[in-house]
Structure 1
């Protein structure tokens, strides 16, 4: 199965560790896994151990880059043709759901790693 995981960033938080471990395990089980991160730098401690997991920087550095990030993600989905897009954290969840408006994605799973995603608008 082809799985595209999308996360807001790959800093040192707990959600990042969960996503990296999940990507590693899915690749070990034989799935083709790509992990796209919207912004920030990769912390060495949270890089995937499995060399089969491809990391892709989307290069979104604030709301001014939203359109460019959307286009890059859309192209990634179009080229990779994932069976599942699994997004993590609020910004990645929002952009992943919006992608479905312009391109076919068989399954989208959005995971919130906190019961408080931000203010009223985000919730």
Structure 2
């Protein structure tokens, strides 16, 4: 099913913009170079923007846990995220893929009868959202 749902990463299929990003390094291309620190307000807005009952990523940390942690001690959470501004931890990049049935299919023996859902780490999502609020 994975071969049906996901293409292999290939430079040949990159858009011109994404190829530029690959060539010059993602940090500089996506604006991380001049970023110094996140603020408490940005962090709180990012953590409040998630639907709390959605499934977590492989780390098992849910959005409601993160929201409560940010509300309880925003300075600690800010410290952790600011430490990762120039290094995005590998576990935050990993995706757990769950295949869901597409409704109304006559049979579910065909891989195209399923829809892949990628579950990412909420911690990584909070960092990403904090970097590009809006």
Q: Provide TM-score, normalisation by structure 1.
A: 0.26
| Structure with more helix by fraction | 2
Between structure 1 and structure 2, the one with the greater Rg is: 2
| Structure with more strand by fraction | 1
